[in-house]
């Protein structure tokens, strides 16, 4: 079964602290993994995708096929990072549809 | 380019009425996806359409829900005889191909009273 799991509903950190948002997936083939962010009252925006290996707003994510994980990391959290973060995958046979995790709310305190 | 436009932003319907949600994809995008976000849950895929064709409707409830993407005009998600359980945020996304970064709309929040 294709599944994306984000075990934490809420992650609260202080400004300047490191952040790691966890994401595990279940897919038998070679999926493409994404992180989307939704700031308050705004639309979902693509943050990064594993295939491009980019670093956006200081966030990085490495695909670990052995652990089937795609955790999102940032060394120093900023208050403006407070948002809802969704991990998602597209499978090779998925006709392009995204399978989302439940989302994690990141709260960065001053 | 105005991005993916969804309207209305908020829609209130009484039980038994019909709800029509509209999505205009980005210019040049011919692939449209609809997702539903129920309270306390993540986004769930509903349907994938190209112009005049439904490609994948595996996430659509079997009854009362339908979607179309006509040759001209926006994509429409239609919910007939709405019930309280249909209350959710409905998001549309478009892409130029079937496996490349989507652009999402702002969503329509449907409330059934």
DSSP string, B75-110: EEEEE-S--GGG-EEEEEEEESSTTS--EE---EEE
Exposed/middle/buried for residue A11 (C-beta within 10 Å: 0-12, 13-18, 19+): middle
Tell me what pLDDT residue A41 has.
Answer: 74
- Residue-wise pLDDT for A85-95, tens only, equals 999 998 766 67
pLDDT of A107 strictly over 70: yes
Share of chain A above pLDDT 90, in %: 61
Tell me what pLDDT residue A2 has.
Answer: 83
Which chain B residues are closer than 8 Å to A95 by Cβ? 48, 55-56, 98
Q: Helix, strand, or coil here: A80? A: helix
State how far the Cα of A35 lies from the Cα of A16, in Å rounded to an integer.
Answer: 21
pLDDT of A25 strictly over 70: yes
Tell me what pLDDT residue B99 has.
Answer: 60
Residue ranges in chain B whose pLDDT is less than 50: none
- Residue-wise pLDDT for A34-62, tens only, equals 999 999 878 899 898 887 777 788 899 98
* CA distance, residue B90 to nearest chain A CA (Å): 11
Best residue in A36, A51, A95 to probe B by mutation, most B CBs within 10 Å? A95
Tokens of B55: 């490609």
**What's the pLDDT band for A1 if we cut at 50, 70, 90?**
confident
- Closest by CA to B87, choosing from B55, B58, B111, B57, is B111
Per the document, the length of chain A is 110
Tell me what pLDDT residue A52 has.
Answer: 75
Give how far the C-alpha of residue B39 lies from the chain's centroid of Cα atoms, to the nearest Å.
17
pLDDT of A109 strictly over 90: yes
Q: Which of A36, A43, A98 has the CB atom closest to B45's CB atom?
A: A98
Tell me what pLDDT residue A90 has.
Answer: 86
Instruction: Kindly state the average pLDDT of the residues A3-17.
Output: 95
Contact (CB<8Å) A96/B48: yes
Give, as one character, the DSSP assignment of residue A92.
T
Tell me what pLDDT residue B1 has.
Answer: 59
State how far the Cα of B37 lies from the Cα of A23, in Å rounded to an integer.
Answer: 19
Tell me what pLDDT residue A56 has.
Answer: 80
Exposed/middle/buried for residue A46 (C-beta within 10 Å: 0-12, 13-18, 19+): middle
Per the document, the length of chain B is 113
């Amino acid at each position: 079964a294709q599944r994306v799991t984000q075990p934490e509903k809420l992650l609260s950190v202080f400004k300047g602290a490191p952040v790691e948002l966890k994401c595990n997936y279940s897919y038998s083939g070679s999926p493409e993994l994404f992180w989307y962010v939704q700031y308050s009252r705004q639309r979902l925006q693509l943050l990064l995708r594993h295939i491009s290996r980019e670093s956006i707003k200081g966030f990085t994510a490495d695909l670990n096929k052995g652990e089937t994980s795609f955790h999102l990391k940032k060394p120093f959290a900023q208050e403006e990072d407070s948002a809802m973060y969704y991990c998602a995958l597209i499978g090779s046979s998925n006709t392009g549809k995204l399978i989302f995790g439940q989302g994690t709310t990141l709260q960065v305190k001053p | 380019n105005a991005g993916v436009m969804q309207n209305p932003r908020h829609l209130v319907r009484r039980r038994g009425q019909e709800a029509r949600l509209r999505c205009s994809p980005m210019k040049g995008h011919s692939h449209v996806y609809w997702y539903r976000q129920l309270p306390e849950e993540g986004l769930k895929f509903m349907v994938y359409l190209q112009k005049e064709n439904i490609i994948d409707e595996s996430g659509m409830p079997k009854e009362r829900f339908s979607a179309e993407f006509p040759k001209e005009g926006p994509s429409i998600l239609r919910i007939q005889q709405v019930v309280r359980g249909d209350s959710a945020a409905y998001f549309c996304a478009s892409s130029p191909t079937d496996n490349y970064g989507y652009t999402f709309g702002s969503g329509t929040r449907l409330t059934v009273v």
